[in-house]
Amino acid sequence: MSVNLHPVAPVPFVSKQHQDTARYPHGVAFMDGQYLPMSEAKISVLDWGLLHSDATYDTVHVWDGRFFRLDLHLDRFFNGLAKLRMDIRMSRDEVAEVLQNCVGLAGHRSAYVEMICTRGTSPTFSRDPRNAVNRFIAFAVPFGSVANAEQMARGLHLAISNTVRIPPASVDPTVKNYHWLDLVKGLYDAYDQNAESALVLDYEGNIAEGPGFNIFAAHNGRLSTPAQNVLPGITRRSVLDICGALDIPVAEVPVSVEHLLAADEVFITSTAGGVMPVTKVNQTVIGRGDVGDLTTRVKDEYWRRHADPEWSTPVRYFVEGV
Ligand SMILES: *Cc1c(COP(=O)(O)O)cnc(C)c1O
C-alpha cells in the first residue's frame, strides 16, 4: 500500500464533492493511500472484516475544532492491532496525521472520526488469515450522539435485554470490535419494550454495557460502573478522571440489575455523545425521574475539559469550517 500523507493535492477534489448537499454523511475518508469523499470509500466484499467481523477500530471525536484525548484512542487502537496480530504498516504519528487530514479536509468543527483495520483480503482467497493484507481505513463525518437534544434534556429510557454480551474468554473486550449481534439483538428487545436503547448482561448476570456505551449508577453521591466484561471506554476513563479531580467517590465493581434499578441517578458514556442521562430503565423510573445533579456536574466538567490542552489537540483545517 502506498501511503499518501500529502494533504494538499486532494483538496480541490474533496471540497467540490463536499459541496454536494445531496450526499450524506458529508465527510472525508482515507483508504489505500488516498483521501476520498465518504461516498467513494468502499471495500471488497471478500474483506475478512465483512466476512468474519475480523477487524478492530476506534472512534475519537472532534469538538469545537479540537480532538478529545486522541492519545488514549491511538493507544487503544494500536493495542487492538497488536492483540489481533494486524499490521497497518503505518506509525502512530502517521495515523494521527491521517485523522488530522480527514477532519482538516472535511472542515467539520465537530466530528466523529473513525480509524479501522480489517484483516483485509488475500490475493488467492486463502483461508489462512496470515495471507491477508490488512487494510487501514479512516474517516471523519459530522459528530453524532446516542442521545438527541430532547433525550439529553429529559434522560434516556433504556431496557435491559436478557442477551448475554459475548464473554471475554471468547472475544477480548479491550479490543474495540464489531461483534455486535448481541448488542443489536439487545436494541430490538429494547424497542419491543418501547425503550430507546439497550443494556446487555455479562455472563454472570450483571449489567455489562450497551450498544457503544458504558454505564454509571449513583447511590447517595457515590458512583459505580462495571469493571469487567466491557469495552474500557475513553469516556468512561474520562469520567473516572473527573471524579478524581472533583472528589466524587467512584468504584469499578460488578453492577447488579437490582443495584442499577435502585440508583438515584444513571448515566451512560460514549464518544458518540459524551455523558448522557438515563431516567428510566425497563419500567422503573430512576431517582426523581429527571436529570440528576451529579450527572450534570460530571457532564459539564467533561465538556469543559474539551478546551483543556492536556486533554485535547487542535485540528489543522484546510477548508472553511462547516
Ligand atoms: C466504543 C464503545 C464504548 C464506549 O467507548 P468510548 O471510548 O467511551 O467511546 C462502549 N462499549 C462498546 C461495546 C464500544 O464499542
CATH number at residue 96: 3.30.470.10
Averaged pLDDT, groups of 10, the chain, 322 residues long: 48 47 77 94 95 97 98 98 98 98 96 98 91 97 94 98 95 96 98 98 97 98 95 98 98 98 98 98 98 98 98 89 52
pLDDT for residue 228: 87
Asked if 81 and 31 sit in the same domain, the reply is: yes
Asked if 184 and 289 sit in the same domain, the reply is: yes
pLDDT for residue 125: 86
Ligand 1 within 6 A of 56 CB?
A: no
Ligand 1 within 6 A of 161 CB?
A: no
Asked if 37 and 126 sit in the same domain, the reply is: yes
pLDDT for residue 113: 98
| 179-200 exposure pattern, b = at least 16 Cβ within 10 A, e = fewer | eeebbeebbebbeeeebbbbbb
pLDDT for residue 224: 98
pLDDT for residue 15: 47
Ligand 1 within 6 A of 231 CB?
A: yes
Cα gap 296→225, rounded to integer Å: 17
User: What ligand 1 atom has the least distance to the C-alpha of 177?
Assistant: 15
Predicted TM-score (pTM) of the model is 0.91
pLDDT for residue 177: 97
User: What ligand 1 atom has the least distance to the C-alpha of 237?
Assistant: 8
Q: Which residue range(s) make up the domain with 39?
A: 3-144
Q: How far is the CA of 176 from the centre of ligand 1 (A)?
A: 7
Q: Please choose, from the candidates 314, 316, 313, 312, the residue with its C-alpha nearest in 3D space to the C-alpha of residue 7.
A: 316
Cα gap 146→265, rounded to integer Å: 18
CB contact at 8 A, 119 and 55: yes
The answer to whether position 315 is within a domain reads: no
Ligand 1 within 6 A of 176 CB?
A: yes
Asked if 92 and 170 sit in the same domain, the reply is: no
Q: How far is the CA of 272 from the centre of ligand 1 (A)?
A: 9
Asked if 157 and 138 sit in the same domain, the reply is: no
User: What ligand 1 atom has the least distance to the C-alpha of 232?
Assistant: 5
pLDDT for residue 138: 98
pLDDT for residue 3: 52
